[in-house]
Amino acid sequence: MRRHIEFITERIVAPDVSAVTLETGAQVEFKGIVRGMENGRVIAGLQYEAYVAMAEVHVGRMIEELGRRWPCHAVWFIHRLGWVPVGEVSLYVRAEASHREGAFRFCIELIDLLKKDAPIWKAAV
Amino acid sequence: MKVLAFATARERAGFSEIEIEVDPVETPRGIMGRVAPGLGVESFRAAVDFEYWDWDAAVGAAREMAIIPPVSGG
């Protein structure tokens, strides 16, 4: 499985590359967008920080483990850090697999695991 | 050993990164008792060399420890 894990402070742009092969039947793309409301109050954006060295290890492991349950040909994971204004993308995940169920499940479960164990934090501003 | 504190843990501990001498038999709980007494670690997790770690397990020859508040990525 080809995988790409990245933490960046610039605006996220969907990678203009693909690993589509003759066996690829599904490409699922998820963009997490900063909402303008947080716990009932209007916010300007979110300030993100991460323990990047540890997050890379754990996100990599999550991708490997999920890949055994939901085999994918390629996975992209990009998390933005620092200041992210309302309406902009904070998280980008793309999974390419043979079938749609595996690609959808991979994205959903990766984000669930991320929110549980990846050392990343946000604060509303 | 390098000790890191993130997010709310950094605010409560009063540092983001410090370098200290550590005995291999020391535990994350004991180390935090030394460097940030009164912090109270119950709401945090410990990580040692990038792995989540029991607060009461010896750190051994680890080079880096971190205090991990509840995470909220995504």
In chain A, what are the domains? 2-124 (3.90.1170.40)
CB contact under 8 A, B71 and A121: yes
**Which residues 30-59 in chain B show a CB within 8 A of chain A?**
47, 50-52
CATH number for the domain spanning B52: value is 3.10.20.30
Is the pLDDT score of A39 beyond 90? Answer: no
Residue at B9 is within a domain: yes
A22/chain B closest Cα distance in angstroms: 32
Tens-digit pLDDT string for chain B (74 aa)? 999 999 999 999 999 999 999 999 999 999 999 999 988 888 999 999 999 999 999 999 999 999 999 999 99
The structure tokens listed for A101 are 């169920």
Residue at B74 is within a domain: no
Q: A48-52, A62-66, B40-44 — which is least confidently predicted?
A: B40-44
Q: Which of A57, A79, A123 sits opposite B73 (nearest CB)?
A: A79
Q: Look-up: residue for tokens 């954006």?
A: A45
Residue at B73 is within a domain: no
Number of domains making up chain B: 1
Biggest alpha carbon–alpha carbon distance for chain A? 48
Give the domain range for residue B54.
2-68
- Within 8 A by CB and 6+ apart from A106, the residues are A28, A66, A67, A70, A72, A75, A95, A97
